[in-house]
Amino acid sequence: MSVCRCVGVSVIFVRVALRPGYPDASRHNQAFSAMVARSAMIETDDSTQVWDGVKPPGDEVVVIKRRVSAFAVSGLELILRSMEVRHLVLTGIATSGVVLGTLRQAADLDCELTVLSDACIDADPELPRVLMDKVFARQARVMAVSDWIADV
């Protein structure tokens, strides 16, 4: 984050969280109904907050999403259009969910995309490799953080 801030690259944080009482979690959605069953992922829960190690200063945007893709029910597309952002650099947890879902929707929105391969993680360590090599590379530039920093 500090490299982005130093060179003037906008940083937008996206966190997943549901409203108290779970009005936005359909019983038909397997992943989100499981969160309801565990009483997890409410907006105020510590688990849904941006990690203190990268906590944004007051002027950076934090978006709350209600589904897997960062674009789903979050207002992210409007924010990007308003900021005139056309190139996204993606990192994140759940490479096979969040990063994949966000990349696919961003590609459909004609965004230029970069995925930082060593800044993504998944519960299954094999999935990120397959996604980076066989799926993401079709729609994005896939590179290591150190290579991206050298290009900025």
Q: Tens digits of per-residue pLDDT, 73-97?
A: 899 999 999 999 999 999 998 999 9
Side chain identity at residue 95, one-letter code: T
Look-up: residue for tokens 């190139």? 87
pTM for the predicted model, two decimal places: 0.90
pLDDT cut 70: percent of the chain above it = 99
Q: Which residue has the higher pLDDT, 103 or 59?
A: 103
Q: Tens digits of per-residue pLDDT, 17-54?
A: 999 999 999 999 998 888 888 888 999 999 899 988 88
Please report which confidence band the pLDDT of residue 114 belongs to, taking 50, 70 and 90 as the band edges: very high
For residues 122 and 2, what is the distance between their CA atoms, to the nearest angstrom?
24
For residues 134 and 46, what is the distance between their CA atoms, to the nearest angstrom?
35
Pairing between β-strand 112-121 and β-strand 61-65 as defined by DSSP bridges: unpaired
Please report which confidence band the pLDDT of residue 1 belongs to, taking 50, 70 and 90 as the band edges: low
